[in-house]
Amino acid sequence: MLKDRLRVVLIEQARTGEPVTYRELADRLGLTPPQTIHRVAQALEVLMAEDALAGRPLLAALCVSRLQQRLPARGFFVTAEALGIFAGDPEGLEARNFHEREFQRTLALYYAA
């Protein structure tokens, strides 16, 4: 399944200590058009639900939009809100702080692994 392959790729990415873009993930997963970014985004949302349910940091926090100054796309925050783990403006300071916290939690779990 795509989400399982995505989890492996994101754990590998976490070990670099750097974020990755949606496009880079689509390329690394070998996805071909149409809707490569959309498929990545959908799989990220599934991972977010799994991670939240398991009490793990959100691996999806590693994925950022190249257009949003190293922040995930709006859907990341909308999904986090639907999961009950984020509240606030998806484009405000709360979103930036939530993302940074999840990014750092993810690195803390996987970076040194």
**Residue 51: which of 71, 78, 79, 18 has the closest Cα?**
79
Contacting residues for 17 by C-beta, under 8 A, at least 6 apart: 107, 111
pLDDT of residue 111 exceeding 90, the answer is no
Span 99-109, pLDDT tens digits = 999 999 999 99
pLDDT of residue 102: 98
Please say whether the beta carbons of 45 and 3 come within 8 A. no
- Alpha-carbon span 71 to 61, nearest angstrom: 8
Q: Provide the domain count of the chain.
A: 1
- Of the pLDDT bands very low, low, confident and very high (cuts 50, 70, 90), residue 113 is low
pLDDT of residue 68 exceeding 90, the answer is no
Q: Is the pTM of this model over 0.85?
A: yes
pLDDT of residue 7: 98
Domain that holds residue 29: 2-110
